[in-house]
Amino acid sequence: MNSKAALQSWLNRIITGDCIELMQHLPDGAFDMAFCDPPYNLQLPRPLLRPNRTVVDGMQGQAWDEFASLQAYDEFTVAWMTQVRRLLKDNGTIWVIGTYHNIYRVGKVLMDLGFWILNDVVWIKTNPMPNFRGTRFTNAQETLIWAVKDRRRKDYTFNYWQMKQINGGKQMRSDWYFPLCRGQERVMVDGGTKAHPTQKPERLVERVILASTNEGDLVLDPFCGVGTCPVVCRRLGRSFVGFEIDAVYAELARERLAKARQHQAPSEGLRASP
Ligand SMILES: C[S@@+](CC[C@H](N)C(=O)[O-])C[C@H]1O[C@@H](n2cnc3c(N)ncnc32)[C@H](O)[C@@H]1O
């Protein structure tokens, strides 16, 4: 199958497999935007215990988040980001989300590969997980780096006026306040267990998509988990290709996607930022 045929057959689908391998089958310059939510490389002890010795239900035991060394994580980052860069149009943009564990390393790779940073947006979690041991501050944020492929291209998509409108008539700032993913949108299994430890809130991804793409644009999500970005793309009339290495997550993402309706009103349109 040639690369254009691969793109056609994967359009608006979630494909199970290693994104680094799968992206090699796609053609240069096909995508308008990439939303990348890679492993964090949290390097957590196992099991992680609360002071009362109960086990914290979170990222422990997530094989996809474990790397042999920082160097191995950096090599992984270079490999996927090189492919994402090739697949973007010259005026296309990348968003990468991460925590203090990985975002500085990812940001270095991004700059080394030639991306030009436009913003670093801070997602301030209005309901963060507490720091159970009380040994340091509660981590209440994640960082999203937004960057254009070619710094000479000033014609990247930024829907300034729409952002301003959403923000009650004031310029949208780079500090975004949203709660962690919860309620009906949280994908559950086995009658009440969170299916994915790092499912992102739809409102966060909506803002990313509304700000930096137009209807009909093509979005790449190499690490789609349980499908937040594909679902938001479908609702907002954007096309997408999603990759996910874990077959269970990929299937849950497909089920979620099947329920998403195009042109459902984005929640962003309904309210201003706090
Ligand atoms: C931080 S999570 C993404 C969560 C997603 N944004 C959501 O809202 O559900 C990272 C995901 O990347 C997947 N992953 C890790 N390595 C991968 C690879 N090489 N190719 C594709 N997916 C991978 C993991 O299985 C995990 O689901």
What is the per-residue pLDDT across 37-54, written as a single tens digit (0 to 9) for each?
A: 999 998 876 666 666 667
**Measured from the CA of 246, which atom of ligand 1 is nearest?**
25
pLDDT score of 267 more than 90 = no
Is residue 158 helix, strand or coil? Answer: coil
Ligand 1 binding pocket includes 243 (Cβ within 6 Å): yes
pLDDT score of 106 more than 70 = yes
Q: Who contacts 47 (Cβ-Cβ below 8 Å, separation ≥6)?
A: 55, 56, 60
pLDDT score of 73 more than 80 = yes
Determine the distance separating the centroid of ligand 1 and the alpha carbon of 228, expressed in angstroms.
Answer: 11
- Cα-flanking dihedrals φ and ψ of residue 76, to 5°? -60, -45
- DSSP E strands, the chain: 13-16, 31-36, 88-98, 116-125, 141-148, 175-178, 188-189, 193-194, 218-221, 239-244
Looking at the DSSP bridge assignments, the partners of residue 175 are: 122
**Measured from the CA of 18, which atom of ligand 1 is nearest?**
20
User: What count of other Cβ atoms lies within 10 Å of the Cβ of residue 159?
Assistant: 16
Question: Which pair of structure tokens corresponds to residue 16?
Answer: 């199970």
Encode pLDDT of 151-178 as tens digits.
999 999 999 999 999 999 999 999 999 9
Q: What pLDDT, on the 0 to 100 scale, is given for residue 95?
A: 99
Determine the distance separating the centroid of ligand 1 and the alpha carbon of 34, expressed in angstroms.
Answer: 14
Determine the distance separating the centroid of ligand 1 and the alpha carbon of 200, expressed in angstroms.
Answer: 11
* Ramachandran bin of 75, using left for φ above 0, alpha for ψ from -120 to 50, beta for the remaining angles: alpha
Question: Which pair of structure tokens corresponds to residue 35?
Answer: 């939303």
Determine the distance separating the centroid of ligand 1 and the alpha carbon of 219, expressed in angstroms.
Answer: 16
Ligand 1 binding pocket includes 37 (Cβ within 6 Å): yes
In the chain, % of residues over pLDDT 70: 90
19 sits in which H/E element: helix 19-23
Q: Which residue among 202, 219, 241, 244 is best mutated to probe the pocket of ligand 1, counting the most ligand atoms within 8 A of its Cβ?
A: 244
Encode pLDDT of 188-242 as tens digits.
999 899 999 999 999 999 999 999 999 999 999 999 999 999 999 999 999 999 9
CATH class of 3-262: alpha beta
Q: What pLDDT, on the 0 to 100 scale, is given for residue 132?
A: 82
Q: Which residues of 177-205 are buried (b: 16+ CB within 10 A; e: fewer)?
A: ebebbeeeeebeeeeeebbbebbbbbbbb
Residues 232 and 235: their CA atoms lie apart, in Å, by 5
Evaluate the omega torsion of the peptide bond into residue 47 and state whether it is cis, within 30 degrees of 0. yes
Q: What pLDDT, on the 0 to 100 scale, is given for residue 254?
A: 98
Residues 32 and 19: their CA atoms lie apart, in Å, by 18
pLDDT score of 272 more than 50 = no
In this prediction the pTM is: 0.93
Residue with tokens 């349109």: 269
R_g (Cα) of the chain, nearest Å: 18
**Measured from the CA of 80, which atom of ligand 1 is nearest?**
19
232 sits in which H/E element: helix 228-235
